[in-house]
Structure 1
Amino acid sequence: MIGSMTERVPSPQAELAAFLRAKRARLQPEDVGLPRGPRRRTPGLRRQEVAQLAAVSVEWYVRLEQGRVGTPGSAVLDALAEALHLTPDEHRHLHLIARRETPVRPATRPPHTLVRDSLRQLLDGIPLFPAYLTDHRLDVLAHNPAARALFGPGFGTGATDNTARMLFLDPATRTTQLDWPRVARETVGHLRTAAAHHPDDPRLTALLTELRSHSTEFTLWWDDHTVLDRATGTKRVRHPEAGDLRLHYDILTTGPHRLFTLTPADPATDRALRHLVTTHTAALTTTHTTTVRPITAA
């Protein structure tokens, strides 16, 4: 009898996988600031939604829930704890079953807030110029149809849900940024400033780890301690339909959010951008009815 009971004790990987599945199943998209979407059959959150919230790859998280991953790092566990809205006790338990240790400082989940209606109206009220909203991590929280016309219909989702990840890890984005070294280095400086202001943010830590692991340029510039809190500038973007565009960018801070606006820097860009936006906005608006999603702001 004792032998049969021992055989049923799950492995640490299986115990961790079961714990994550249970905590994922108890949450609904609206609990974590995500749209529900049509034809939803999955009880609780989808795996890709947890991966998005924790800033980890979907493939890795799927393997984690299948018990096919080694020992996750502490920062990743902290990010998962925040994504799954774990209590302090659950957060400690997560570290115990995954790493057989307690976290140095149990993460506390920041208050749940929404993008203000006034910011949504502001974005939608700028029809001709691309505009989008981020947090200090550079996660894309909201954007207008003009931003989708410039950056593509998937902007703000998947690999393009964070502008730093876009710049360093998405080859297509890199080819469109004609001033990539300067813009990318500015982005590193921004993230270093953000890290100083938010040293205990597990999602920011996970993003920095991901960028350092996959980009030699990011690692080089991070290690030289570039610091920058940029507010305005000019950059050149190559668009497959509109051609080369010269754009001013302005970054306005409002509470925990940053509003990015892109405006023409010369008459030729003004004509090309207006034609691009007016051509694409109607179709993009039809296929993407929601431009702003609720967020958790730290």
Structure 2
Amino acid sequence: MAAFLRAARARIRPEDVGLRGGGRRRTPGLRRQEVAELAAVSVDWYIRVEQGRVGAPGSAVLDAIGAALRLTPAEREYLHLTARGEAPPRRHVAAPVSASLRAVLDGMPLLPAYVVDHRLDVMAWNGAASALFGAGFGSGRADNTARLTFLDPESRRTQLTWEQFARETVGALRSASARHRDDRRLRAVVAELRAGSREFDLWWEDRTVRERSHGSKRIRHPVGGELSVCYDLLAATDGSDQRLVILTPADEATERAVRLLVADYSQGAVGGPNQVLRAARTA
């Protein structure tokens, strides 16, 4: 940790952080006193840090030092791992769905896929998702998968493994609420669900925490019949807390049914068979 901080300090010019150069310096970069002032810590304590003569600093102090040294997200994580042996708390970076992630959606015309944020708001989706979940997916009450699961009666009828998936949804929101305690939109979603669903309110109180990454479920589709699908959630690493959700057929019958649903939907979609409908929302 001490060696890393010294190297990070040496590469920062005073002008980079709004300080005056102040003439010639014996060594490049910031002085220890300047880092301490920028991080709002005592100079003596910071000197001991760079000399390796202190224990593990607190997470907030490490973040203050990291901000003073203009550390990148990867460097911030490295500092925390080196100093404390654990990753830092994740920061949410509000951002729209990236062009590359949208291209991934475009490139999966036969696999229903969509992007959600930590609130389970639907950020973008492809035509196959609309074919499976309906043309209204991503808008109205269906603009949030938790609201769709708990507040839409049709969802309860079509989700044959509803309770399992619903409990996972509660656990995912509980986990997100710990990472984003000041998120008003997240609090509003939870409050709406607690007021509108007895099951959600009950399961929210049992304090279940769950990070959903994969699973399976059965769906009763009005045209395709009973479908068995697997789902995988792939997390973005840019701090946006976005997840790409991909559904894949669990058996040959489901694969054939999904292909037919996508083909029928594509024929009716404006713009050709690979038209992708997506949201232009931001976090």
TM-score (norm 2): 0.63
Asked if structure 2 preserves the Cα contact closer than 8 Å seen for 1:149 and 1:284, the reply is no
Does 2:190 correspond to 1:205?
Answer: no
Structure 2 match to 1:188:
170
Does 2:274 correspond to 1:292?
Answer: no
Q: Which amino acid aligns with 1:215?
A: S
Asked if structure 1 preserves the Cα contact closer than 8 Å seen for 2:125 and 2:276, the reply is no
| Aligned-CA RMSD value | 1.8
Listed as ranges, the matches of 1:97-246 within 5 Å are 113-246=95-228
User: CA shift at 1:269, angstroms?
Assistant: 0.7
Does 2:252 correspond to 1:270?
Answer: no
Q: Which amino acid aligns with 1:273?
A: V
For these two proteins, the number of residue pairs brought into alignment is: 188
Asked if structure 1 preserves the Cα contact closer than 8 Å seen for 2:106 and 2:276, the reply is no
Q: Which amino acid aligns with 1:277?
A: V
Distance in 2 (CA, whole Å) between partners of 1:249 and 1:111 is 25
Q: Which string of whole-angstrom CA distances, capped at 9 and with x for unpartnered residues, describes residues 108-131 of structure 1?
A: xx8763321101110011000100
The alignment partner of 1:127 has SS state of coil
Listed as ranges, the matches of 1:56-71 within 5 Å are none
Worse overlay, 282-291 or 204-213? 282-291
Gapped regions of structure 1 (runs ≥ 5): 1-109
Asked if structure 2 preserves the Cα contact closer than 8 Å seen for 1:153 and 1:284, the reply is no
Asked if structure 2 preserves the Cα contact closer than 8 Å seen for 1:113 and 1:294, the reply is no
The alignment partner of 1:294 has SS state of coil
Asked if structure 2 preserves the Cα contact closer than 8 Å seen for 1:145 and 1:285, the reply is no
Does 2:261 correspond to 1:279?
Answer: no
Identity %: 53
Structure 2 match to 1:260:
245
Distance in 1 (CA, whole Å) between partners of 2:108 and 2:97 is 17
Distance in 2 (CA, whole Å) between partners of 1:268 and 1:284 is 24
User: CA shift at 1:238, angstroms?
Assistant: 0.5
Q: Which amino acid aligns with 1:284?
A: A
Asked if structure 1 preserves the Cα contact closer than 8 Å seen for 2:266 and 2:275, the reply is no
Q: Which amino acid aligns with 1:186?
A: E
Distance in 2 (CA, whole Å) between partners of 1:190 and 1:197 is 11
